[in-house]
């Protein structure tokens, strides 16, 4: 870790990735510069994302971070020390796979060290991705990081992302059981079965709290940035919660302030306004 700032001013900064730190996997250089400057000033900067670590591509992590809360709170690591690694238990995993198959779903099984999908799922994803420009490059990075796996029965995972199904993703979660919760995808062209299915007791604030406890910080020393429905608990937990303009209404409702999105390099301005640089 970097040398700490005085205890009274040191902050732990948690950044959602998609729609906050990056746009379709592409990080504005001003955002990367802000992360480097905040760490040089003695603050801790961590990514706090729905993505597993296995899908944090080189483009996303290039600035350097003190740790990650990944899988929407299922996994937390600081300075190489793993604090949380929560997976679906075996019986629930098997039930989830049966329900997904019955629903005709295309899906990813996301673990911290690898994300697995049937080859047909990866091929379907690649077909619908942009092929040119930075947006296409960022999304191709994502598919390249997925492990093609014919037999998913033995895969250990902490979260499921679905891209298509014959029924709504909420119905899939209901069929799996009360042990899981769901957030529908905000991208309409992915179909009614698109969304994230995760253990019901897991959310980003669980991972943030584990990091804060390990570092011996107080909640008022936490600054969190996010734009989505899965950021709500994190923004509520933080001493200062910053929602991204144009983000989910629920995130905006619980935030203390707002910042512009990654296409406007909004985090750079917000870091400066908050005295983090």
* Token pair recorded at residue 207: 């991972």
For residue 136, pLDDT over 70 is answered with no
pLDDT, tens only, 47-101: 999 999 999 999 999 999 999 999 999 999 999 999 999 999 999 999 999 999 9
Confirm if 48 and 58 have CB atoms less than 8 A apart.
Answer: no
What band does 189 get if pLDDT is binned at 50, 70 and 90?
low
Q: Percent of the chain scored above 70 by pLDDT?
A: 90
**SS3 (DSSP) at 67:** strand
Q: What is the pLDDT of residue 125?
A: 78
DSSP strands (E only) in the chain: 12-15, 44-48, 67-70, 75-78, 81-85, 106-110, 115-117, 146-148, 159-164, 180-184, 195-199, 222-226, 240-244, 257-259
pLDDT digits (tens, 9 = 90+) for 3-25: 455 556 899 999 999 999 999 88
Look at residue 152 and tell me whether its pLDDT is greater than 50: yes
Mean pLDDT of 99-121: 94
Tell me what pLDDT residue 76 has: 98
* pLDDT tens digits, 230-243: 999 999 999 999 99
pLDDT grade for 46, boundaries at 50, 70 and 90 = very high
The bridge status of strand 195-199 relative to strand 159-164 is: antiparallel
């Amino acid at each position: 870790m970097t040398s700490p700032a005085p205890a009274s001013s040191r902050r732990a900064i948690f950044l959602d990735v998609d729609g906050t730190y990056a746009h379709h996997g592409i990080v504005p250089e001003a955002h990367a510069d802000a992360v480097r400057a905040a760490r040089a000033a003695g603050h801790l900067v961590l990514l706090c994302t729905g993505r597993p670590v296995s899908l944090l591509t080189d483009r996303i992590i290039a600035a350097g971070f003190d740790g990650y809360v990944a899988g929407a709170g299922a996994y937390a690591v600081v300075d190489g020390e793993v604090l949380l690694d929560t997976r679906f238990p075996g019986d629930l995993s098997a039930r989830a796979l049966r329900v997904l198959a019955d629903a005709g779903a295309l899906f990813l099984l996301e673990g911290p060290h690898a994300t697995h999908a049937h080859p047909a799922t990866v091929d379907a994803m690649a077909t619908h991705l942009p092929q040119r420009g930075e947006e296409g490059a960022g999304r191709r990075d994502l598919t390249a990081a997925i492990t093609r796996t014919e037999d998913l029965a033995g895969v250990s995972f902490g979260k499921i992302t679905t891209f298509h199904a014959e029924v709504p993703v909420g119905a899939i979660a209901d069929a799996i059981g009360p042990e899981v919760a769901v957030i529908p995808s905000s991208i309409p062209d992915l179909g009614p079965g698109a969304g994230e299915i995760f253990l019901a007791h897991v959310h980003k604030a669980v991972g943030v709290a584990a990091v804060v406890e390990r570092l011996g910080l107080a909640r008022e020393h936490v600054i969190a940035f996010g734009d989505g429905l899965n950021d709500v608990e994190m923004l509520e937990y933080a001493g200062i919660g910053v929602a991204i303009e144009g983000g989910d209404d629920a995130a905006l409702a619980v935030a203390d302030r707002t910042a512009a999105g990654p296409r406007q390099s909004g985090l750079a301005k917000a870091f400066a306004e908050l005295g983090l640089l």
